[in-house]
Chain A
Protein backbone atom coordinates (compact mmCIF):
# COMPACT_ATOMS: atom_id res chain seq x y z
CA UNK A 1 0.00 0.00 0.00
CA UNK A 2 1.40 3.30 -1.00
CA UNK A 3 1.43 6.02 1.64
CA UNK A 4 0.54 6.04 5.26
CA UNK A 5 -2.56 4.42 6.49
CA UNK A 6 -4.34 6.59 8.99
CA UNK A 7 -4.98 4.71 12.12
CA UNK A 8 -8.57 5.58 12.54
CA UNK A 9 -9.82 4.61 9.21
CA UNK A 10 -12.49 2.24 8.49
CA UNK A 11 -11.38 -0.63 6.49
CA UNK A 12 -13.65 -3.13 5.10
CA UNK A 13 -12.72 -6.71 5.59
CA UNK A 14 -12.72 -8.36 2.25
CA UNK A 15 -11.67 -11.92 2.72
CA UNK A 16 -14.12 -14.69 2.04
CA UNK A 17 -14.30 -16.28 5.40
CA UNK A 18 -15.80 -13.30 7.18
CA UNK A 19 -18.73 -11.19 6.16
CA UNK A 20 -18.22 -7.81 4.63
CA UNK A 21 -17.95 -5.58 7.51
CA UNK A 22 -16.65 -2.28 8.42
CA UNK A 23 -13.79 -2.46 10.72
CA UNK A 24 -11.73 0.12 12.41
CA UNK A 25 -8.08 0.12 11.82
CA UNK A 26 -6.31 0.80 14.98
CA UNK A 27 -2.69 0.46 14.62
CA UNK A 28 -0.28 -1.32 12.53
CA UNK A 29 1.96 -3.70 14.24
CA UNK A 30 4.32 -4.61 11.59
CA UNK A 31 4.21 -1.49 9.46
CA UNK A 32 2.45 -2.23 6.24
CA UNK A 33 1.57 -5.82 7.05
CA UNK A 34 -0.67 -6.37 10.02
CA UNK A 35 -3.26 -4.19 11.70
CA UNK A 36 -5.16 -4.39 14.91
CA UNK A 37 -8.71 -4.42 13.94
CA UNK A 38 -12.05 -4.15 15.69
CA UNK A 39 -15.52 -4.11 14.19
CA UNK A 40 -18.25 -3.11 16.61
CA UNK A 41 -21.09 -3.30 14.13
CA UNK A 42 -24.19 -5.11 15.28
CA UNK A 43 -24.90 -6.96 12.08
CA UNK A 44 -21.42 -8.18 11.23
CA UNK A 45 -19.22 -7.75 14.25
CA UNK A 46 -15.56 -8.45 13.86
CA UNK A 47 -13.75 -9.52 16.96
CA UNK A 48 -10.85 -7.42 18.04
CA UNK A 49 -7.92 -9.09 16.40
CA UNK A 50 -4.85 -8.74 14.33
CA UNK A 51 -5.41 -9.01 10.69
CA UNK A 52 -3.09 -8.85 7.76
CA UNK A 53 -3.59 -5.77 5.66
CA UNK A 54 -3.87 -7.93 2.62
CA UNK A 55 -7.30 -8.89 3.74
CA UNK A 56 -8.44 -5.35 4.08
CA UNK A 57 -9.63 -2.73 1.67
CA UNK A 58 -9.47 0.75 3.12
CA UNK A 59 -12.46 3.03 2.73
CA UNK A 60 -12.58 6.82 3.00
CA UNK A 61 -14.88 6.68 6.00
CA UNK A 62 -13.31 7.78 9.22
CA UNK A 63 -14.08 7.80 12.87
CA UNK A 64 -11.78 9.58 15.23
CA UNK A 65 -10.42 7.55 18.07
CA UNK A 66 -7.56 8.18 20.44
CA UNK A 67 -4.68 5.92 19.74
CA UNK A 68 -4.77 2.67 21.57
CA UNK A 69 -8.44 3.02 22.27
CA UNK A 70 -10.17 -0.03 23.55
CA UNK A 71 -13.37 -1.63 22.40
CA UNK A 72 -15.87 0.38 24.40
CA UNK A 73 -14.44 3.75 23.38
CA UNK A 74 -14.24 2.53 19.88
CA UNK A 75 -17.83 1.49 19.83
CA UNK A 76 -18.92 4.89 21.01
CA UNK A 77 -16.93 6.70 18.37
CA UNK A 78 -18.18 4.25 15.75
CA UNK A 79 -21.77 5.07 16.54
CA UNK A 80 -21.17 8.73 16.72
CA UNK A 81 -19.58 8.82 13.31
CA UNK A 82 -22.50 6.85 11.90
CA UNK A 83 -20.12 4.66 10.08
CA UNK A 84 -22.58 2.10 8.97
CA UNK A 85 -24.96 4.59 7.53
CA UNK A 86 -22.24 6.26 5.57
CA UNK A 87 -21.05 2.97 4.32
CA UNK A 88 -24.45 1.85 3.12
CA UNK A 89 -24.88 5.09 1.21
CA UNK A 90 -21.60 4.75 -0.57
CA UNK A 91 -21.70 3.46 -4.11
CA UNK A 92 -19.01 0.97 -3.23
CA UNK A 93 -21.30 -0.73 -0.76
CA UNK A 94 -24.11 -0.59 -3.24
CA UNK A 95 -22.15 -2.37 -5.91
CA UNK A 96 -21.15 -5.03 -3.45
CA UNK A 97 -24.76 -5.51 -2.53
CA UNK A 98 -25.73 -5.67 -6.16
CA UNK A 99 -23.23 -8.39 -6.91
CA UNK A 100 -24.29 -10.35 -3.90
CA UNK A 101 -27.91 -10.15 -4.90
CA UNK A 102 -27.10 -11.24 -8.45
CA UNK A 103 -25.25 -14.28 -7.21
CA UNK A 104 -28.28 -15.29 -5.19
CA UNK A 105 -30.70 -15.11 -8.06
CA UNK A 106 -32.71 -18.19 -8.81
CA UNK A 107 -33.58 -19.24 -12.31
CA UNK A 108 -37.05 -17.80 -11.90
CA UNK A 109 -35.58 -14.53 -10.62
CA UNK A 110 -33.24 -14.38 -13.54
CA UNK A 111 -36.20 -14.79 -15.82
CA UNK A 112 -38.03 -11.95 -14.11
CA UNK A 113 -34.95 -9.79 -14.38
CA UNK A 114 -34.72 -10.57 -18.05
CA UNK A 115 -38.33 -9.65 -18.58
CA UNK A 116 -37.82 -6.42 -16.65
CA UNK A 117 -34.78 -5.50 -18.70
CA UNK A 118 -36.62 -6.17 -21.90
CA UNK A 119 -39.59 -4.10 -20.82
CA UNK A 120 -37.32 -1.25 -19.85
CA UNK A 121 -35.38 -1.52 -23.05
CA UNK A 122 -38.55 -1.42 -25.05
CA UNK A 123 -39.67 1.75 -23.29
CA UNK A 124 -36.27 3.35 -23.71
CA UNK A 125 -35.94 2.43 -27.34
CA UNK A 126 -39.36 3.68 -28.07
CA UNK A 127 -38.52 7.00 -26.54
CA UNK A 128 -35.27 7.18 -28.47
CA UNK A 129 -37.01 6.41 -31.69
CA UNK A 130 -39.55 9.08 -31.00
CA UNK A 131 -36.75 11.54 -30.29
CA UNK A 132 -34.96 10.64 -33.49
CA UNK A 133 -37.89 11.52 -35.65
Chain B
Protein backbone atom coordinates (compact mmCIF):
# COMPACT_ATOMS: atom_id res chain seq x y z
CA UNK B 1 0.00 0.00 0.00
CA UNK B 2 1.52 3.15 -1.02
CA UNK B 3 1.23 6.08 1.32
CA UNK B 4 3.89 8.23 -0.04
CA UNK B 5 4.92 8.95 -3.48
CA UNK B 6 8.09 10.50 -4.48
CA UNK B 7 8.34 12.09 -7.76
CA UNK B 8 11.57 12.25 -9.46
CA UNK B 9 12.53 14.64 -12.00
CA UNK B 10 15.02 13.11 -14.23
CA UNK B 11 17.95 15.13 -15.09
CA UNK B 12 19.73 12.77 -17.30
CA UNK B 13 19.92 14.07 -20.73
CA UNK B 14 17.80 11.42 -22.20
CA UNK B 15 15.02 11.60 -19.64
CA UNK B 16 15.32 15.09 -18.68
CA UNK B 17 12.20 16.63 -17.43
CA UNK B 18 10.47 13.36 -17.11
CA UNK B 19 8.38 13.14 -14.10
CA UNK B 20 8.77 9.84 -12.48
CA UNK B 21 6.32 9.11 -9.78
CA UNK B 22 7.30 6.44 -7.44
CA UNK B 23 4.62 5.06 -5.26
CA UNK B 24 5.74 2.95 -2.42
CA UNK B 25 5.31 2.31 1.22
CA UNK B 26 6.79 4.93 3.55
CA UNK B 27 8.81 2.21 5.13
CA UNK B 28 10.62 1.92 1.90
CA UNK B 29 11.70 5.53 1.94
CA UNK B 30 14.65 4.57 4.02
CA UNK B 31 15.31 1.75 1.64
CA UNK B 32 15.21 4.12 -1.22
CA UNK B 33 17.53 6.45 0.50
CA UNK B 34 19.88 3.66 1.21
CA UNK B 35 19.63 2.68 -2.38
CA UNK B 36 20.50 6.10 -3.41
CA UNK B 37 23.53 6.19 -1.23
CA UNK B 38 24.64 2.87 -2.50
CA UNK B 39 23.73 3.70 -5.93
CA UNK B 40 21.27 0.79 -5.73
CA UNK B 41 22.83 -0.92 -8.58
CA UNK B 42 20.99 -4.06 -8.04
CA UNK B 43 17.82 -2.98 -6.29
CA UNK B 44 14.48 -3.27 -7.63
CA UNK B 45 12.14 -0.48 -7.42
CA UNK B 46 8.62 -1.09 -7.99
CA UNK B 47 7.05 1.80 -9.35
CA UNK B 48 3.52 2.42 -9.98
CA UNK B 49 1.88 5.23 -11.64
CA UNK B 50 -1.50 6.64 -11.30
CA UNK B 51 -2.95 7.69 -14.46
CA UNK B 52 -5.15 10.39 -13.20
CA UNK B 53 -3.13 13.45 -12.80
CA UNK B 54 0.02 12.51 -14.39
CA UNK B 55 0.83 13.75 -17.65
CA UNK B 56 1.33 10.66 -19.62
CA UNK B 57 3.52 12.31 -22.01
CA UNK B 58 5.96 13.12 -19.46
CA UNK B 59 5.82 10.14 -17.31
CA UNK B 60 7.53 6.96 -17.50
CA UNK B 61 6.45 3.73 -16.17
CA UNK B 62 9.28 1.95 -14.73
CA UNK B 63 9.07 -1.61 -13.88
CA UNK B 64 12.47 -2.71 -13.44
CA UNK B 65 15.45 -1.20 -12.04
CA UNK B 66 17.88 -2.21 -14.57
CA UNK B 67 17.33 0.55 -16.85
CA UNK B 68 17.01 3.09 -14.10
CA UNK B 69 19.41 1.83 -11.58
CA UNK B 70 22.17 3.91 -12.79
CA UNK B 71 19.81 6.68 -13.45
CA UNK B 72 18.07 7.01 -10.12
CA UNK B 73 20.96 8.22 -8.13
CA UNK B 74 21.31 11.45 -6.35
CA UNK B 75 23.42 12.74 -9.12
CA UNK B 76 20.92 11.92 -11.79
CA UNK B 77 17.79 13.12 -10.21
CA UNK B 78 16.53 15.19 -7.49
CA UNK B 79 13.96 13.92 -5.15
CA UNK B 80 11.18 16.06 -4.36
CA UNK B 81 8.16 15.31 -2.41
CA UNK B 82 5.58 17.51 -3.68
CA UNK B 83 2.02 17.68 -2.79
CA UNK B 84 0.97 17.91 -6.31
CA UNK B 85 2.56 14.68 -7.18
CA UNK B 86 1.26 12.60 -4.34
CA UNK B 87 -1.29 10.04 -5.24
CA UNK B 88 -3.03 7.22 -3.53
CA UNK B 89 -3.10 3.72 -4.72
CA UNK B 90 -6.33 1.94 -4.70
CA UNK B 91 -8.32 5.02 -4.17
CA UNK B 92 -9.83 7.46 -6.40
CA UNK B 93 -7.39 9.99 -7.28
CA UNK B 94 -8.67 13.25 -5.97
CA UNK B 95 -7.35 16.51 -4.65
CA UNK B 96 -3.61 16.82 -4.76
CA UNK B 97 -3.33 16.96 -1.03
CA UNK B 98 -3.84 13.27 -0.94
CA UNK B 99 -1.36 11.49 1.20
CA UNK B 100 1.41 13.76 2.30
CA UNK B 101 1.47 16.89 4.31
CA UNK B 102 -0.45 18.53 7.04
CA UNK B 103 -3.63 18.82 5.14
CA UNK B 104 -3.47 15.17 4.16
CA UNK B 105 -3.00 14.06 7.75
CA UNK B 106 -5.72 16.36 8.91
CA UNK B 107 -8.06 14.97 6.35
CA UNK B 108 -7.08 11.47 7.23
CA UNK B 109 -7.65 11.96 10.91
CA UNK B 110 -11.22 12.78 10.35
CA UNK B 111 -11.17 15.86 12.51
CA UNK B 112 -13.03 17.69 9.76
CA UNK B 113 -15.95 15.34 10.31
CA UNK B 114 -16.02 16.03 14.02
CA UNK B 115 -15.96 19.71 13.36
CA UNK B 116 -18.67 19.42 10.84
CA UNK B 117 -20.80 17.57 13.37
CA UNK B 118 -20.26 20.24 15.98
CA UNK B 119 -21.04 23.16 13.76
CA UNK B 120 -17.62 24.15 12.59
CA UNK B 121 -15.81 23.98 15.92
CA UNK B 122 -14.28 21.36 18.04
CA UNK B 123 -16.55 20.36 20.90
CA UNK B 124 -15.18 21.64 24.19
CA UNK B 125 -15.52 19.34 27.17
CA UNK B 126 -15.45 20.70 30.71
CA UNK B 127 -12.09 20.25 32.31
CA UNK B 128 -11.92 17.15 34.35
CA UNK B 129 -10.50 17.48 37.80
CA UNK B 130 -7.30 15.67 38.17
CA UNK B 131 -7.82 12.85 40.52
CA UNK B 132 -5.35 13.06 43.33
CA UNK B 133 -2.76 10.45 42.89
CA UNK B 134 -3.29 7.85 45.45
CA UNK B 135 -0.15 7.46 47.39
CA UNK B 136 0.48 3.81 47.34
CA UNK B 137 3.03 2.46 49.69
CA UNK B 138 6.42 1.98 48.25
CA UNK B 139 7.27 -1.57 47.57
CA UNK B 140 10.81 -0.97 48.60
CA UNK B 141 12.35 0.92 51.48
CA UNK B 142 14.64 3.76 50.55
CA UNK B 143 18.31 2.98 50.70
CA UNK B 144 19.04 5.71 53.21
CA UNK B 145 17.06 6.19 56.36
CA UNK B 146 15.91 9.76 56.39
CA UNK B 147 14.89 10.77 59.87
CA UNK B 148 11.36 12.08 59.85
CA UNK B 149 10.39 14.48 62.58
CA UNK B 150 7.47 13.32 64.69
CA UNK B 151 4.21 15.01 64.08
CA UNK B 152 3.18 17.68 66.51
CA UNK B 153 -0.28 17.07 67.77
CA UNK B 154 -0.02 19.71 70.43
CA UNK B 155 -2.43 22.56 70.08
CA UNK B 156 -1.51 25.66 71.99
CA UNK B 157 -4.54 27.18 73.62
CA UNK B 158 -4.58 30.27 75.79
CA UNK B 159 -4.27 29.29 79.41
CA UNK B 160 -7.40 29.07 81.50
CA UNK B 161 -7.69 31.87 83.99
CA UNK B 162 -7.28 30.76 87.57
CA UNK B 163 -10.47 30.68 89.56
CA UNK B 164 -9.59 33.34 92.07
CA UNK B 165 -8.25 35.85 89.55
CA UNK B 166 -10.84 38.50 88.97
CA UNK B 167 -10.12 41.83 87.29
CA UNK B 168 -8.80 44.07 90.04
CA UNK B 169 -7.12 41.33 92.06
CA UNK B 170 -3.72 42.08 93.44
CA UNK B 171 -1.18 39.58 92.20
CA UNK B 172 2.35 38.88 93.32
CA UNK B 173 4.83 38.53 90.49
CA UNK B 174 7.26 35.72 91.02
CA UNK B 175 9.83 36.09 88.29
CA UNK B 176 11.21 38.45 85.78
CA UNK B 177 12.32 41.99 86.22
CA UNK B 178 9.52 42.80 88.61
CA UNK B 179 9.65 39.80 90.88
CA UNK B 180 8.17 40.31 94.28
CA UNK B 181 6.04 43.24 93.20
CA UNK B 182 2.41 43.36 93.96
CA UNK B 183 0.45 44.39 90.92
CA UNK B 184 -3.12 44.88 89.88
CA UNK B 185 -4.54 42.37 87.43
CA UNK B 186 -6.53 44.04 84.67
CA UNK B 187 -7.61 41.43 82.20
CA UNK B 188 -6.60 38.28 80.42
CA UNK B 189 -5.56 38.83 76.80
CA UNK B 190 -7.45 36.63 74.37
CA UNK B 191 -4.87 35.45 71.93
CA UNK B 192 -1.97 34.61 74.17
CA UNK B 193 -3.75 34.01 77.46
CA UNK B 194 -1.30 36.26 79.24
CA UNK B 195 -2.50 38.56 81.95
CA UNK B 196 -2.49 42.29 81.48
CA UNK B 197 -1.19 43.88 84.61
CA UNK B 198 -0.26 47.31 85.90
CA UNK B 199 1.62 48.53 89.00
CA UNK B 200 0.17 51.11 89.05
CA UNK B 201 3.34 52.51 87.61
CA UNK B 202 3.48 55.32 90.11
CA UNK B 203 3.51 53.01 93.10
CA UNK B 204 5.83 50.22 92.15
CA UNK B 205 7.28 50.95 88.72
CA UNK B 206 5.44 48.17 86.98
CA UNK B 207 4.00 49.49 83.72
CA UNK B 208 1.19 48.05 81.66
CA UNK B 209 2.66 44.68 81.09
CA UNK B 210 1.84 41.18 80.07
CA UNK B 211 2.53 38.47 82.58
CA UNK B 212 2.18 34.73 82.61
CA UNK B 213 -0.26 33.28 85.10
CA UNK B 214 2.19 30.58 86.04
CA UNK B 215 4.50 33.18 87.51
CA UNK B 216 1.91 34.86 89.70
CA UNK B 217 0.39 34.32 93.08
CA UNK B 218 -3.08 35.67 93.58
CA UNK B 219 -3.95 37.43 96.78
CA UNK B 220 -7.33 38.10 98.24
CA UNK B 221 -6.82 41.83 98.05
CA UNK B 222 -8.47 43.58 95.16
CA UNK B 223 -9.22 46.96 93.72
CA UNK B 224 -12.33 48.01 91.90
CA UNK B 225 -11.74 48.68 88.20
CA UNK B 226 -14.68 51.00 87.63
CA UNK B 227 -14.00 53.56 84.99
CA UNK B 228 -11.04 51.72 83.53
CA UNK B 229 -11.28 51.13 79.81
CA UNK B 230 -9.12 48.25 78.64
CA UNK B 231 -10.51 47.81 75.14
CA UNK B 232 -7.48 48.99 73.27
CA UNK B 233 -5.10 46.59 74.96
CA UNK B 234 -4.53 43.34 73.19
CA UNK B 235 -1.56 41.22 72.21
CA UNK B 236 -0.89 43.30 69.17
CA UNK B 237 -0.43 46.38 71.31
CA UNK B 238 2.51 44.72 72.98
CA UNK B 239 4.15 43.40 69.87
CA UNK B 240 7.78 44.32 69.44
CA UNK B 241 8.39 46.87 66.74
CA UNK B 242 11.20 45.70 64.46
CA UNK B 243 13.47 48.49 63.39
CA UNK B 244 14.31 48.02 59.73
CA UNK B 245 18.01 47.97 59.10
CA UNK B 246 19.41 49.05 55.74
CA UNK B 247 20.42 46.03 53.72
CA UNK B 248 24.02 46.84 53.25
CA UNK B 249 27.26 46.33 55.13
CA UNK B 250 26.57 49.16 57.54
CA UNK B 251 23.15 47.85 58.36
CA UNK B 252 24.45 44.37 58.94
CA UNK B 253 26.95 45.43 61.54
CA UNK B 254 24.84 48.10 63.09
CA UNK B 255 23.93 47.55 66.71
CA UNK B 256 20.94 48.97 68.50
CA UNK B 257 22.92 51.53 70.41
CA UNK B 258 20.20 54.08 70.62
CA UNK B 259 18.20 53.83 73.80
CA UNK B 260 14.69 52.70 73.14
CA UNK B 261 12.47 55.61 73.93
CA UNK B 262 9.03 54.81 75.18
CA UNK B 263 6.44 56.20 72.85
CA UNK B 264 4.31 59.02 74.21
CA UNK B 265 1.29 56.95 73.31
CA UNK B 266 2.36 54.29 75.77
CA UNK B 267 2.93 56.83 78.49
CA UNK B 268 -0.46 58.35 77.88
CA UNK B 269 -2.12 54.94 78.01
CA UNK B 270 -0.38 54.16 81.27
CA UNK B 271 -1.72 57.33 82.80
CA UNK B 272 -5.23 56.77 81.47
CA UNK B 273 -5.40 53.32 82.99
CA UNK B 274 -3.68 54.10 86.26
CA UNK B 275 -5.58 57.20 87.34
CA UNK B 276 -8.90 55.52 88.20
CA UNK B 277 -7.05 52.61 89.80
CA UNK B 278 -5.03 54.90 92.03
CA UNK B 279 -8.19 56.73 93.01
CA UNK B 280 -9.88 53.45 93.93
CA UNK B 281 -6.83 52.31 95.86
CA UNK B 282 -6.80 55.36 98.03
CA UNK B 283 -10.16 54.34 99.47
CA UNK B 284 -8.72 51.25 101.13
CA UNK B 285 -6.32 51.91 103.92
CA UNK B 286 -2.84 50.50 103.56
CA UNK B 287 -3.47 49.39 99.99
CA UNK B 288 -1.10 51.91 98.51
CA UNK B 289 1.88 51.01 100.71
CA UNK B 290 0.96 47.34 100.26
CA UNK B 291 1.24 47.58 96.53
CA UNK B 292 4.36 49.70 96.78
CA UNK B 293 6.11 47.07 98.84
CA UNK B 294 7.63 43.77 97.83
CA UNK B 295 6.65 40.28 98.79
CA UNK B 296 9.19 38.05 100.46
CA UNK B 297 9.43 35.12 102.80
CA UNK B 298 11.01 35.51 106.17
CA UNK B 299 12.05 33.00 108.75
CA UNK B 300 9.33 30.67 109.82
CA UNK B 301 7.13 31.49 106.83
CA UNK B 302 6.28 28.80 104.36
CA UNK B 303 4.15 29.26 101.24
CA UNK B 304 2.12 26.15 101.88
CA UNK B 305 0.89 27.54 105.19
CA UNK B 306 -0.13 30.83 103.66
CA UNK B 307 -3.23 29.44 102.09
CA UNK B 308 -6.54 31.18 101.63
CA UNK B 309 -8.84 31.31 104.67
CA UNK B 310 -11.26 28.95 103.01
CA UNK B 311 -8.66 26.25 102.98
CA UNK B 312 -6.88 27.06 106.19
CA UNK B 313 -7.03 24.49 108.93
CA UNK B 314 -7.33 25.59 112.46
CA UNK B 315 -4.13 24.82 114.23
CA UNK B 316 -4.54 23.37 117.65
CA UNK B 317 -2.01 23.90 120.32
Interface residues of A (CB under 8 A from B): 14-16, 19-20, 92, 95-96, 99-100, 103-108, 110-112, 115
- Given A14-B317, A111-B286, 17 further pairs, Cβ under 8 A: A20-B314, A96-B316, A96-B317, A99-B315, A103-B305, A103-B312, A104-B309, A105-B306, A106-B219, A106-B221, A106-B309, A108-B287, A110-B306, A111-B290, A111-B293, A112-B290, A115-B286
B183 within 8 A of A: no
B308 within 8 A of A: yes
Evaluate whether A106 and B220 lie within 8 angstroms (CB atoms) in the complex, with A111-B290, A112-B286 already known: yes
Of A16, A96, A105, A108, chain B has the most CB atoms within 10 Å of the CB of A108
Q: Is the CB of A108 within 8 A of B170?
A: yes
Q: Is the CB of B316 within 8 A of A14?
A: yes
Evaluate whether A108 and B290 lie within 8 angstroms (CB atoms) in the complex, with A99-B317, A103-B305 already known: yes
For A107, give its contact among B172, B287, B312, B314 (CB under 8 Å). Answer: B172
**Pairs A–B under 8 Å by Cβ, sample size 7:** A14-B317, A95-B317, A96-B316, A100-B315, A103-B305, A108-B220, A111-B293
B31 within 8 A of A: no
What's the Cα separation between A97 and B202 when bound, in Å? 39
Chain B: residues with Cβ within 8 Å of the partner, total of 21
B295 within 8 A of A: yes
List residues of chain A with CB within 8 A of the CB of B170. Answer: 108
Those 9 A-B pairs whose CB atoms lie nearest each other, nearest first = A108-B221, A107-B219, A106-B220, A104-B309, A100-B314, A111-B290, A14-B316, A104-B312, A99-B315
Evaluate whether A20 and B221 lie within 8 angstroms (CB atoms) in the complex, with A106-B309, A111-B293, A115-B286 already known: no
Of B170, B305, B306, B316, chain A has the most CB atoms within 10 Å of the CB of B316
Interface residues of B (CB under 8 A from A): 170, 172, 219-221, 286-287, 289-290, 293, 295, 305-306, 308-309, 312-317
Interface residues of chain A: helix, strand, loop or mixed (majority): helix
What's the Cα separation between A104 and B312 when bound, in Å? 6
Evaluate whether A107 and B221 lie within 8 angstroms (CB atoms) in the complex, with A112-B286, A115-B289 already known: yes
Cβ of A58 to closest chain B Cβ, rounded Å: 14
Q: Is the CB of A16 within 8 A of B316?
A: yes
List residues of chain A with CB within 8 A of the CB of B293. Answer: 111
List residues of chain B with CB within 8 A of the CB of A105. Answer: 306
What's the Cα separation between A92 and B317 when bound, in Å? 9
Q: Is the CB of B316 within 8 A of A20?
A: yes
List residues of chain B with CB within 8 A of the CB of A19. Answer: 314
Nearest chain B residue, comparing its CB with the CB of A105:
B306
List residues of chain A with CB within 8 A of the CB of B305. Answer: 103
List residues of chain A with CB within 8 A of the CB of B290. Answer: 108, 111-112
List residues of chain B with CB within 8 A of the CB of A100. Answer: 314-315
List residues of chain A with CB within 8 A of the CB of B317. Answer: 14, 92, 95-96, 99
List residues of chain A with CB within 8 A of the CB of B289. Answer: 111, 115
What's the Cα separation between A115 and B220 when bound, in Å? 18
Of B308, B309, B317, chain A has the most CB atoms within 10 Å of the CB of B317
What's the Cα separation between A111 and B219 when bound, in Å? 12
Q: Is the CB of A16 within 8 A of B313?
A: yes
List residues of chain B with CB within 8 A of the CB of A20. Answer: 314, 316
Q: Is the CB of B295 within 8 A of A107?
A: yes
